[in-house]
Amino acid sequence: MPEPQRGGRQRERQTDRSSAARGDTTEKVVFINRCAKVVKGGRRFSFSALIVAGDHDGSVGVGFGKANEVAEAIRKASESARKSMEKVALRENTIPHETLGEFDGGRVLLRPASPGTGIIAGGGVRAVVEAAGIKDVLAKSLGSSNHANVVKATIEALRNLRRRDEILKARGIRVNTPTEQKESATAS
pLDDT in tens, 40-92: 999 999 999 999 999 999 999 999 999 999 999 999 999 999 999 999 989 88
Tell me if 181 is assigned to some domain: no
Question: Residues 80, 133: one domain?
Answer: no
- Report the CATH number at residue 158: 3.30.230.10
Q: Using CA atoms in the order 129, 133, 135, 137, what is the torsion angle rounded to 10 degrees?
A: -40
pLDDT attached to residue 188: 61
Question: Residues 110, 47: one domain?
Answer: no
| CA dist., res. 126 & res. 140, Å (int) | 10
Question: Residues 96, 117: one domain?
Answer: yes
pLDDT attached to residue 11: 47
CB atoms within 10 A of CB 150: 30
pLDDT band at 16 (very low <50, low <70, confident <90, very high): low
pLDDT digits over 19-37, tens only? Answer: 434 468 899 999 999 999 9
Tell me if 126 is assigned to some domain: yes
Domain hosting 21: range is 6-86
Question: Residues 118, 48: one domain?
Answer: no
Question: Residues 137, 114: one domain?
Answer: yes
pLDDT attached to residue 8: 47
| CA dist., res. 125 & res. 50, Å (int) | 13
Residue 169 to residues 13, 79, 153, 161, Cα–Cα distance (Å): 42, 35, 27, 15
